[in-house]
Amino acid sequence: MALNLSRNTSVFVSTGNGVHASGGSVASLDNFTPGSGHAVGDVITMGSSGLKVVVTAVTTSPAGGVDAVAIPNNFRGTGLSNDDAVTQSATTGSGTGFAAVVKGDGVSTTGDGGRAGTGLFKGNGTTANTFKIGVLDGYSFSQGSDATDITISEAGAEPNRGSKRFNDSLPPAEWSFGTYVRPFKHGTSSNRSTGTHDMCENILWAAIAGASVTGSDPSGTESDPAVVCDSGDADVSFARSDHHELLKLSIFFALENTTYRLNECQVNQAEIDFSIDGIATITWSGNATTIDQVSTIIEDPSKALIVTDVDGTDSTDSTSEATTYTEGYNYVDTTAPGDADYLRNKLSTLTLSHARNSSNILEVGATGNDINYSINITGGSLTIANNITYVTPETLGLVDVPVGSFTGARQISGSLTMYLDTKSNGSNQLLSDLTAATDLVNNSFDMSLFMGGGSSSTPVVEFDLPRAHLQIPTIETADIISTTVEFAAQGSTLLDGDEMTVKYKGSTTHSDSTYATDYTV
């Protein structure tokens, strides 16, 4: 018996579920023709189907003959059928003559649950679609069930008092995990251009604010993608989030001995924590239609399939799993301490201003008399909610599962805490100004939160709310009197999604030759 320890959990987030939508991807290989002159680590291309293998063991006779290969998910190829003969067409080394026979039925559905393929994993090149996410302790994922109880209620001297329960449906699965806020810059060997700003949690931002993964633009419209990375910064715009369905993800929780796949995940909410004594974090949460246990090695992003020609007679093969040949092929990994920056909340700053009229009363649209408040925050949070709803059928005699989801109203809100001080344009002035503006039912503050530093700092993450609505602060009684300000982001109109822009700027450069080669799915 093997137990699963939470400390050994790895989390992978992908737009694919490990199976090509058009099918024809290998499940394994057999009947090796070993060739000669190969070396461990060589990547051999097998024809034009996209099938590739990584040499993991060679023979001494013939010298450099292939004895075992690794097949990461990204190397499965397409358009192949069981018993197809495949031969070497290219290699990163100097070996020749390798050939094998395809083992697999070329299906376009997953091995668990028979779900339609949504794509192979890709961890290299500008079109990478799978990322390892560094999560914090306290992650969770689960799916319950809905049931109906039928009971009997009778009168009489000897009433029947039985009951019976029926399973009706599986409600949407729920998941949640926390990540650090980690900006970085790409180096000479990375999955984006040198000098490009990015963030470790990129794919999660893409999913909460848009309909496509960063780096792609399938519709050719300004609504895709939500995250744009360039040499200036990596920015997230909610102006591109007006979709009935946002980017669907597959989330893999690779426990110590078991891997679970959450299907058709949506990122419903992100909560950014500004606690000044900690490191900047975001708690992500959402739902999925179902949870599968992944038992097919090659559909697991944390593993590669190892195929060994056991006796060298081209008649027998065996398979096993490995983690060595996964990073760079199956997923992008920037989770190491030296790969990206950490942000200290105590360095965070706030800029806050509002227009005033000639009587120094807050007024939207007034010109030439803005007040810039000088406020040091002591904590706070910012929450982004998509209010996503899942739809589940109600068929008698079946246990139904959710069939899809749609977005609700987008809400961006939060709170800030600060000491109640009497300095010029400080928190007491803010309280007084809001109380005095009795005719201003909808104020509009230009607010920017710089997480980890000031506006000119690097690394830093800026949350820019150009039209924040502030409620009148509440007074909190403690050893030092403080105040809490609730706020909500607003668009330029009710129909515009420009409530907030998030901008990441990193200083640490991530460079790893693993990502330098652009292998296509």
Q: Edge to edge, what strands does the sheet with 197-199 contain?
A: 197-199, 183-186, 509-510
Give the closest residue to 84 by CA, choosing from 108, 110, 53, 105.
105
Question: In terms of domains, do 352 and 501 share one?
Answer: yes
Residues in Cβ contact with 139 at an 8 Å cutoff, skipping those fewer than 6 apart: 6, 9, 11, 175, 176, 177, 178, 253
Judging by beta carbons within 10 Å of its beta carbon (0-12, 13-18, 19+), is residue 156 exposed, middle or buried? exposed
Helix, strand, coil percent content, the chain, rounded in steps of 5: 5, 40, 50
First to last CA, the chain: 37
Under a CB-based contact definition with an 8 Å cutoff, are residues 319 and 306 in contact? yes
pLDDT score, position 347? 92
Whether 312 shows a pLDDT value over 70: the answer reads no
Whether 428 shows a pLDDT value over 80: the answer reads yes
Under a CB-based contact definition with an 8 Å cutoff, are residues 280 and 461 in contact? yes
Whether 74 shows a pLDDT value over 80: the answer reads yes
Question: In terms of domains, do 356 and 489 share one?
Answer: yes
What is the number of residues in the chain? Answer: 521
Beta bridge partners of 166: 148
User: What average pLDDT score do residues 326-344 get?
Assistant: 93
Residue 449's CATH number: 2.40.30
Judging by beta carbons within 10 Å of its beta carbon (0-12, 13-18, 19+), is residue 415 exposed, middle or buried? middle
pLDDT score, position 352? 95
Under a CB-based contact definition with an 8 Å cutoff, are residues 489 and 412 in contact? yes
Whether 353 shows a pLDDT value over 90: the answer reads yes
User: What average pLDDT score do residues 330-356 get?
Assistant: 94
Token digits of residue 266: 């949506």
pLDDT score, position 124? 84
Question: In terms of domains, do 306 and 411 share one?
Answer: no
pLDDT score, position 43? 94
Q: Which of 86-100, 315-329, 428-442 reaches the highest mean pLDDT? A: 86-100
Under a CB-based contact definition with an 8 Å cutoff, are residues 451 and 461 in contact? yes
Question: In terms of domains, do 487 and 349 share one?
Answer: yes
User: What average pLDDT score do residues 137-150 get?
Assistant: 90
Q: Provide the pairing of β-strand 509-510 with 183-186.
A: parallel
pLDDT, greater one: 96 or 393: 96
Question: For residue 462, what is the enclosing H or E element?
Answer: strand 460-470
User: What average pLDDT score do residues 161-186 get?
Assistant: 92
Question: In terms of domains, do 308 and 456 share one?
Answer: no
When the pLDDT of each residue in the chain is averaged and rounded to a whole number, the result is 90
CA 232 to chain centre: 22
CA 81 to chain centre: 33
Whether 163 shows a pLDDT value over 60: the answer reads yes
Question: In terms of domains, do 351 and 316 share one?
Answer: no
Question: In terms of domains, do 319 and 422 share one?
Answer: no
Q: Kindly indicate the confidence band of residue 217, based on its pLDDT and cuts at 50, 70 and 90.
A: low
d(CA 272, CA 179): 10
pLDDT, greater one: 463 or 104: 463
d(CA 361, CA 87): 79
The answer as to whether 79 is a domain residue is yes
Give the closest residue to 472 by CA, choosing from 421, 423, 433.
433
Question: In terms of domains, do 455 and 309 share one?
Answer: no
Q: Name the domain count of the chain.
A: 2
pLDDT score, position 456? 85
Whether 226 shows a pLDDT value over 70: the answer reads yes
Give the closest residue to 75 by CA, choosing from 21, 26, 133.
26
Q: Kindly indicate the confidence band of residue 330, based on its pLDDT and cuts at 50, 70 and 90.
A: very high
Token digits of residue 233: 């910064």
Q: Kindly indicate the confidence band of residue 221, based on its pLDDT and cuts at 50, 70 and 90.
A: low
Question: In terms of domains, do 446 and 496 share one?
Answer: yes
Q: Kindly indicate the confidence band of residue 315, based on its pLDDT and cuts at 50, 70 and 90.
A: low
Whether 65 shows a pLDDT value over 80: the answer reads yes
Give the closest residue to 66 by CA, choosing from 52, 78, 80, 84.
52
Percent of the chain with pLDDT over 70: 96
pLDDT score, position 342? 96
Per-residue CA distances from 155 to 39, 152, 163 (Å): 84, 10, 16
pLDDT, greater one: 179 or 216: 179
Q: Kindly indicate the confidence band of residue 520, based on its pLDDT and cuts at 50, 70 and 90.
A: low
User: What average pLDDT score do residues 358-387 get?
Assistant: 92
Query: What is the span of the domain harbouring residue 418?
Result: 345-505
Question: In terms of domains, do 408 and 302 share one?
Answer: no
pLDDT score, position 23? 86
User: What average pLDDT score do residues 394-410 get?
Assistant: 88
The answer as to whether 91 is a domain residue is yes
The answer as to whether 6 is a domain residue is no
Question: In terms of domains, do 460 and 358 share one?
Answer: yes
pLDDT, greater one: 87 or 160: 87
The values of phi and psi at residue 218, to 5°, are -65, -30
d(CA 403, CA 110): 17
Q: 22-36, pLDDT tens digit by residue?
A: 888 998 998 889 999
Percent of the chain with pLDDT over 90: 59
User: What average pLDDT score do residues 431-452 get?
Assistant: 91
Question: In terms of domains, do 355 and 474 share one?
Answer: yes
Give the closest residue to 75 by CA, choosing from 431, 269, 325.
325
User: What average pLDDT score do residues 2-13 get?
Assistant: 84
The answer as to whether 404 is a domain residue is yes
Whether 492 shows a pLDDT value over 60: the answer reads yes
Beta bridge partners of 504: 234, 461
Whether 317 shows a pLDDT value over 90: the answer reads no
User: What average pLDDT score do residues 47-72 get?
Assistant: 93
Whether 311 shows a pLDDT value over 70: the answer reads no
pLDDT score, position 320? 84
Q: Kindly indicate the confidence band of residue 286, based on its pLDDT and cuts at 50, 70 and 90.
A: very high
Q: List the Cα angle 16/18/24 in 5-degree steps.
A: 115
pLDDT score, position 223? 55
Question: For residue 141, what is the enclosing H or E element?
Answer: strand 140-142
The answer as to whether 336 is a domain residue is no
The answer as to whether 205 is a domain residue is no
pLDDT, greater one: 55 or 167: 55
